[in-house]
Amino acid sequence: MYRVIGGKVNADVSQLRGLRRFFCNVTAPEVSASNSYMHSNGNKVENQSANGIQQYDIAIVGGGMVGMALACSLASSALTKKLSVAIIDDNPALTSGGWISKEEPPDPRVSTITPASISFLKNIGAWKYVEKQRHAYFDKMQVWDYTGLGYTRYNARDANKEVLGCVVENKVLQRSLSLCIQEKDFQKTVLPSRLASMALQSSMSSTEMDSQLAKLELADGSNVVAKLVVGADGGRSRVRELAGFSSSGRKYPQNAIICTVEHSLPNYCAWQRFLPAGPIALLPVGENFSNIVWTMSPKETSECKAMSEDDFVKAVNHALDNGFGPHPQSNSSIDKIFSSFKSDSVSLNESFEVPPKAVKLASERMVFPLSLVHTDTYAKSRVVLIGDAAHTVHPLAGQGVNLGFGDASVLSKVISDGTAVGIDIGQLSLLRKYEAERKPANFMMATILDGVQKAYSFDLGPFNAVRAAAFHGAQYISPLKKNIILYASGEQRLPFFSWN
């Protein structure tokens, strides 16, 4: 028998008295007509207690791509669509609605969406909005390094796939998720404010409503209570800080400079070259535009940002062509060693290509620092972390938002499963099921990306040879290439190698 957790909010008089005793020190503002929180269909929310404190089953702090994806996923399940959900974020984009016009300049902030994430976004109803706006699928990828030794090409057909991924501007993803939320028929409320403080109450009496709620005070002075608080508020998570989650990690001695460039012809391939200071990637974003993600030292990023537009475009083309070193040669000694492996990969027959030339800069240049952060736990009683609030990784493989979508998908299912059997959705034992599934997968990906970053921190002959051997192994050994593609696409949970 299904048990709808949202029904608990309509507590009886004795429960409301308990709630009032607990929050007797809170002076809650009166909810006037001008300050009422509205559903997207314009109906006033009826889930407030007698003293004006808003009550919800779930409070999602952070209305970015991952937080909004979780809300859409909850609204897509018959078991969770009746839960009352608050999205706490003061970003005006959450309520702006509308489409991204092709006439709008490209956003330099983009995400590489894996096939697994595309499937998730389709299932929750958001991908249909992405497809009506600017985006670019790619079915090929070329990766090489500046020494001229390491080189690999990937083709979606190497793993019997149609595409390797899709590059989407963040503003397109955000708007698509907002449109998806608006069409959903569930109890959703956007609270345009920021989290100021949070009180997580220890369990008192099982009959007291106090033990079933977390209290959140917002920057606008209002207060809300919820059975579960989801921290989806990014790498500088306020939820993580207030709830006392410990984490480990380090700052990389690198920054990334991002921008969008224009070509004379469309680009349908993803390109990545490893340079002495870090990788540079050229990613198609639709029409004749590509996105640049260039990792280098903080000093170099400052210099690149200060360049004239023409000089910067020349630097990009130089870095993606023969700058810093020669093109890979197909008759190298390492090639001869690996060419003895029998391979039926499609990409093996594709020769090295020089990426398309950028003709002009099409967006501003933005710089951001890089770091590796992973929280020791993802869940506490009444609180759970998803996305960058729980983990941040190096951007060299474009996996950040995909890990977040994986979190949202699993957490939504865990909440649905708990709701189906009547378990309190803020109960730690339930939330640990989410942590048990996502933490090892996220940690593995973070470790692999960190290892690749470290491997390219040295420019020595022996290291160069080992790196080149790894590149060529992926190029010539078909099962290895297929496993890499499936793992990077999110369709294989762990990078276990299977020879088939």
Instruction: Assess whether pLDDT exceeds 90 at residue 500.
Output: no
pTM summary value: 0.87
Residue 95 backbone phi and psi in degrees, to 5: -115, 5
Three-state DSSP class for residue 405: helix
Amino acid present at 337:
I
CATH superfamily of domain region 110-170+252-369+457-488: D-Amino Acid Oxidase, subunit A, domain 2 (3.30.9.10)
Half-sphere exposure of residue 111: CA atoms within 13 angstroms, side-chain side: 21
Query: 16-54, pLDDT tens digit by residue?
Result: 333 333 333 333 322 222 233 333 333 334 455 546 688
Q: Which of 292, 296, 338 is nearest to 317 (CA)?
A: 292
Return the bridge partners of 257, or none.
294, 367
Residue 4 backbone phi and psi in degrees, to 5: -85, 110
DSSP string of 172-238, one letter each residue: HHHHHHHHHHHH--S-EEEE-S-EEEEEEPPP--TT-GGGG-EEEEETTS-EEEEEEEEE-S-TT-H
Mean pLDDT value across residues 387-409: 96
pLDDT of residue 494: 65
Average confidence score pLDDT of the chain: 85
Place of tokens 């940002």: 305
DSSP element (H, E) containing 240: helix 238-243
Domain 5-100+174-248+372-444 belongs in CATH node 3.50.50.60: yes
Instruction: Assess whether pLDDT exceeds 50 at residue 14.
Output: no
Q: Two tokens at 62?
A: 């952070």
pLDDT of residue 87: 97
Domain locations in the chain?
A: 5-100+174-248+372-444, 110-170+252-369+457-488
DSSP string of 348-411, one letter each residue: GGSPP-PPPPP-EE-S--EEEEEEEEEES-SEETTEEE-GGGTEE--GGG--HHHHHHHHHHHH
Dihedral class, residue 115 (left if φ above 0, else alpha if ψ from -120 to 50, else beta)? alpha
Q: Two tokens at 274?
A: 């490893």
Q: Two tokens at 390?
A: 């729980």
* CA 10, chain centre distance (Å): 35
Mean pLDDT value across residues 50-69: 90
**425 against 2, higher pLDDT:** 425
pLDDT of residue 20: 37
Q: Two tokens at 357?
A: 């030339």
DSSP string of 447-492, one letter each residue: HHHHHHHHHTT---HHHHHHHHHHHHHHHH-HHHHHHHHHHHTTSS
**139 against 28, higher pLDDT:** 139
Residue 280 backbone phi and psi in degrees, to 5: -120, 130
DSSP state of 283: E
Give how far Cα 172 sits from Cα of 175, 257, 331, 380, Å: 5, 20, 44, 33
